[in-house]
Structure 1
Amino acid sequence: MKIQTRPLSENREARRVAVASAIGTTIEWYDFFIYGTAAALVFAPQFFPQVSELEGTLASFATFAIGFIARPLGGIVMGHFGDRIGRKSMLVWSLMLMGIGTVVIGLLPTHAQIGVWAPILLVLMRCVQGFGLGGEWGGAVLMSVEHAPRERRGFFGGFVAFGLPTGIILSNVVFLIVTGVTTGSQFAEWAWRIPFLFGAVLVVVGLFIRLRIAESPVFQQMEQPRRVPAVDVLRAEWRKVLLAAGSYVGMSGMGYIVIVYFVSYANRQLGISTPTVLTMLIMASVVFAIGVVVFARLSDRWGRRRVMIWGCVGHAAWSLVLFPLADTKSVPLIAIDLIMILALQSAYIGPQPAMFAELFPTELRYSGTSLSLTLGTILGGAVTPLVATALYGATGTSWSVTAYVVLISLITVVCQLALKETYHKDLTA
């Protein structure tokens, strides 16, 4: 039997594209996550000072959720053009939009300076961020997976997933440095802007890298693009879109519980300092990053579905103890708690890019992957910090939040079980 090998130039290009996707996605998630951290820590007094602390926190998390509303629109528009004119150009546009939204947020006047226009402009820039991120993930995934050797699509797709924990790490490190070198009043007044302005430097780096990579070879081989891919994918592949989105609901929801809501919860309810919380999140995210690479590679050997199902089941089980362990107020136990939940998430997140790409045909792939992810994020991550804050405010106990995260985790398990295996699929078929 003759073993087919790819030219060395193709393998080098695949590696280059994967690294470029990881760097670009890291920058995009950095931009997105610094907003979540700022919403948990400073946006309430800066943009909603006229209401109570609880109401201000709810309003801040509501603006965080609004960004997710713009993500399906970004996914539809960029998915449409990504399936018609190419993946690469949409990646460049998504990064530019995220950069513009992030830098402008860092320059916004506060409520004390321009009144109600401050939160209005904050919401507008959050929508720009959401629109950009809506088209980012699908494009980065397709560039990596469609360039990859068939037997290593999970591993190369994992580079995109790797951008998620590295974005968390980078955003938390920057906030940790800023909070460490400024006083509490300085941070609240002006230093919170530094992470947003630093995003401009990262965007320039990301654009330089993305402009140098080649278009997807699978897209170039496509004979005829669809006229309206987003409509066609909902007509022909609606079941896959819904199941893929449902499989992401619990992961997305728990992700934003840990990354966004938990910063506020640990600080205000458990009395743990912000630097300590951010340090624990960085530690957990390092484990998350390692797990993403390991499980992405394992999915090439064992199959995407098997690896992801085990991750989903373990994740649902650990969601039962996440808040009870946190409520002990023991820093070592909380650190282990966060490490475990993110390690279990990595078993899903690592293989996810390859599996989502393999679910859809080439001419609908950008639209299908983008819609699946953004729909799952809206139903899970968008509202979770807001719902968790409201539940705790209404009940005064974390058990109500636990019931909620267990519910969405079980939705993920059921939907993942309903999806079929994909790792042997030919992407050009």
Structure 2
Amino acid sequence: MAAIAHTPARRLDDHPPISRGSLTVAGMSTIIEWYDFTLYLYMTTVISRVFFGGGTGGTAATLLVFAFTYLLRPVGAAVFGHIGDRIGRKPVLLISMALMTVAMLVTALLPTYASIGATAGWLMMAMRCLMSFSVGGEYSGVITYLVEGAEPKRRGFITSLASAASEVGGLMAVGLAALTTSFFTGPDLDSWGWRIPFFIGAIMAGATLLMRSRMDESPVFEEEDEDDKATNPLVEVLRVEPGAVARGFAISALGSITYYVGIGYAPTFLQNAGEFSESDALWLGTAAAVAVILVTPFAGMAADRFGRRPILLLFGVLAAVTSLTMFQLMASGSRGAALTGALVLAAVAGGWSAVAASTIAEQFKSKARMSGMALGFTTATAIFGGFAPLVGERLIEMTDWKPAPGAMIAIVALCVLPVVWYQKETAPAVVENETH
């Protein structure tokens, strides 16, 4: 505990930057994580037929598996956070990507419900468990690596590129899902067409693993003496910096629900509530992914220039006041209205996530930074990301009120905004100006 308590706060800013090549590989490799998870959501209706027998019960089972397996993310975060704080950031990024490669490859080879019945669903759930466990340390490991390796005054922009890259993964997922459902129909889609996007994901993950093997280790971690490292990082960060964990949880909660409900769940919502076809809903999702990619780097640069707090407050207010209306537009059945709703929701989610990445990591000034970030980030994601699409679907069924998912986002935004209002500014350039 003493090791954490005596860690100087300037350590995060007092180090040589990581090479551009290593930063690029780390930032761009988040493509794989989000490609897989959004692919599963975008292909919910297909997976429900292929693995769970189809119908309303099949859709519910598909979303339940997504939600249940998300509970393994905090478990993976605890394991990988310990490895990252004790052994290094690079080993975490290598192990997690290796497991993700295996999970996607095996998923592409799974037998279907038509072949082996309900066992197919259980096998799919096993692969989702492996993926969730491995992803537990993936995103937090990448953000920790980027925050520790980027130039302090460009940290918001650099870490926002990881968020943008993840949206590239989402764009690839929705685009390939749309192409798959457009070119393959009926028996061909359900027997083998659905496998193609998962095979592509496995190939990309394997290539990323090779590139990560050439990355540098974080200079902040390399500067630490063995005696200074936390013996039990997870326990010690909870003892020393519980407030930072709580703030990270809150910030991640809004980021998770805006992304997984406002973007990931949107195609399923458009099909069920807006009565769009599978391919039309996925093409609207593709447009939303493009919007996120365009917004994200500008939000990161604005956070470096004006501070994390004001930009988070801006997107938090937008989430609170626009989400309900945007879901109403998407449920209207009008293509133009649905596109407007999807684009606005995507822009808000992308802007918040871009700034949240650096903000959460900067909450921690201890040498258990990765454990603290992983704990706050992944616990919130498991609750507000994994379960949110299922809850949204159930609320619509129970109340017959189609905009219910938008109300969920608005409520979480209203709860999180006070946390952002009272937190201290962490952007290095803004803090330096305030000091002088």
On whether the aligned pair clears a TM of 0.5, the verdict is yes
| One-letter identity of the residue aligned with 2:223 | Q
1:415 corresponds, among 400, 408, 419, to: 419
2:345 corresponds, among 332, 338, 341, to: 341
Aligned to 2:5: none
5 Å-filtered alignment, 1:157-196, equals 157-196=159-198
| Separation in 1, partners of 2:176, 2:61 | 24
1:77 aligns with 2:83: no
2:324–2:403 Cα contact (<8 Å) kept: no
| 1:169-209 deviations in Å (ceiling 9; x for gaps) | 01011112222222233212321111111112101221121
1:389 corresponds, among 393, 409, 415, to: 393
| One-letter identity of the residue aligned with 1:63 | V
2:247–2:360 Cα contact (<8 Å) kept: no
1:318 aligns with 2:322: yes
Q: Per-residue deviation at 1:129?
A: 0.5
1:48–1:59 Cα contact (<8 Å) kept: yes
Aligned length: 413
2:156–2:303 Cα contact (<8 Å) kept: yes
2:48–2:58 Cα contact (<8 Å) kept: yes
5 Å-filtered alignment, 1:194-273, equals 194-223=196-225, 224-273=228-277
| Separation in 2, partners of 1:213, 1:396 | 51
Aligned to 2:4: none
1:103–1:196 Cα contact (<8 Å) kept: yes
- What is the alpha-carbon root mean square deviation over aligned residues? 1.8
| Separation in 1, partners of 2:112, 2:184 | 19
Q: Per-residue deviation at 1:68?
A: 1.2
1:373–1:415 distance in 2 versus 1, CA, 3 Å: same
| Separation in 2, partners of 1:138, 1:248 | 11
1:153–1:354 Cα contact (<8 Å) kept: yes
Which 5+ residue runs of structure 1 have no aligned equivalent? Answer: 1-9
Q: SS state of the match for residue 195, structure 2?
A: helix
| 1:237-275 deviations in Å (ceiling 9; x for gaps) | 122212221122232112112333222221133221222
Aligned to 1:139: 141
TM-score normalized by the length of structure 2: 0.90
2:296–2:351 Cα contact (<8 Å) kept: yes
| Separation in 2, partners of 1:392, 1:407 | 16
| 1:253-312 deviations in Å (ceiling 9; x for gaps) | 121123332222211332212222222222221121121101111111111111111111
| One-letter identity of the residue aligned with 1:301 | R
| Separation in 2, partners of 1:198, 1:401 | 31
5 Å-filtered alignment, 1:106-117, equals 106-117=108-119
| 1:1-28 deviations in Å (ceiling 9; x for gaps) | xxxxxxxxx66x4422221122210011
Q: Per-residue deviation at 1:232?
A: 1.0
1:26 corresponds, among 25, 31, 41, to: 31
Bigger CA drift: 83-92 or 370-379? 370-379
- What is the aligned-residue identity percentage? 31
| Separation in 2, partners of 1:192, 1:205 | 22
Bigger CA drift: 112-121 or 381-390? 112-121
| One-letter identity of the residue aligned with 2:409 | V
Q: Per-residue deviation at 1:362?
A: 4.4
| One-letter identity of the residue aligned with 2:98 | M
1:353 corresponds, among 339, 352, 357, to: 357
